[in-house]
């Protein structure tokens, strides 16, 4: 993941933005376009805002070939490949945060952390039920903590698998460094491949 504070220019918009909002690509030895989420592959990096629509536009306009100063080939399913890589990275970040003791799951445990002022952000499953959402927001309002970030995460089943549980609807981050990494990885995934959905999970 990009170091905090690093900025790069998007080849589509020309906008300079934090590298954590972009995806790095490199050109392989045979001219193929390769996503480099870990930002470790050799070669000149080509940066694009983490939106699937941006990739489609950049490919259509030949911007990768222009940036690389050579003909660049991209697989037809490149957008899906990047989406899968971003999903894996985000889920791995959640798992790592749990193992580090920086992510606590379960609504009641989350409420306890909020009351103690130890929750730095709450991640909510995209398919969380309406009752669970209302209860969380009512608790935040009662504690005058409406400014606490509530971030949409994966669906409850994916969330649970990442954390070694059956289903997870709510979890709280308690470490600032892990919070920054997890939220950045989630943001890139959800921006690239919006995981919107209507809810159904009302328990954990």
CATH 1.10.10.60 fits 92-192, yes or no: no
**Terminal CA-to-CA distance of the chain, rounded, Å?**
31
- Other C-beta atoms closer than 10 Å to the C-beta of 123 total 26
Same fold, 7-74 and 92-192: no
pLDDT-based confidence at residue 193 (cuts at 50, 70, 90) = confident
Average pLDDT over residues 112-139: 95
Model confidence pLDDT, tens digit, residues 148-188: 999 999 999 999 999 999 899 999 999 999 999 999 999 99
Domain ranges of the chain: 7-74, 92-192
Distance between CA atoms of 92 and 182, rounded to whole angstroms?
9
Task: Residues 7-74: name the CATH superfamily.
Answer: YlxR-like (3.30.1230.10)
- For every residue of 18-46, DSSP letters joined together read EGGGEEEEEE-TTSBEEE-TTS-SSS--E
Residue 54 confidence (pLDDT) above 50 = yes
List beta partners, residue 152. 124
**Cβ contact 125:159 at 8 Å:** yes
Report pLDDT for 200: 52
Report pLDDT for 199: 47
């Amino acid at each position: 993941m990009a170091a905090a504070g690093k900025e790069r220019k998007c080849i589509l918009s020309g906008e300079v933005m934090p590298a954590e909002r972009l995806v790095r690509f490199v050109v392989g030895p045979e001219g193929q376009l390769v996503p480099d989420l870990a930002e470790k592959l050799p070669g000149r990096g080509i940066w694009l805002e983490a939106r699937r629509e941006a990739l489609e536009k950049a490919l259509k306009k030949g911007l990768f070939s222009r940036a690389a100063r050579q003909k660049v080939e991209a697989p037809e399913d490149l957008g899906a490949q990047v989406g899968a890589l971003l999903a894996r990275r985000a889920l791995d970040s959640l798992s790592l945060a749990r193992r580090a003791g920086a992510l606590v799951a379960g609504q009641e445990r989350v409420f306890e952390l909020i009351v103690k002022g130890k929750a730095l952000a709450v991640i909510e499953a995209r398919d969380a039920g309406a009752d669970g959402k209302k209860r969380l927001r009512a608790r935040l309002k009662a504690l005058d903590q409406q400014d606490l970030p509530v971030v949409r995460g994966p669906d409850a089943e994916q969330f649970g698998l990442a954390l070694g549980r059956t289903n997870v609807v709510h979890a709280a981050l308690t470490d600032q460094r892990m919070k920054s990494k997890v939220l950045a990885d989630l943001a890139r995934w959800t921006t690239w491949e919006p995981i919107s959905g209507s809810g159904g999970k009302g328990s954990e």
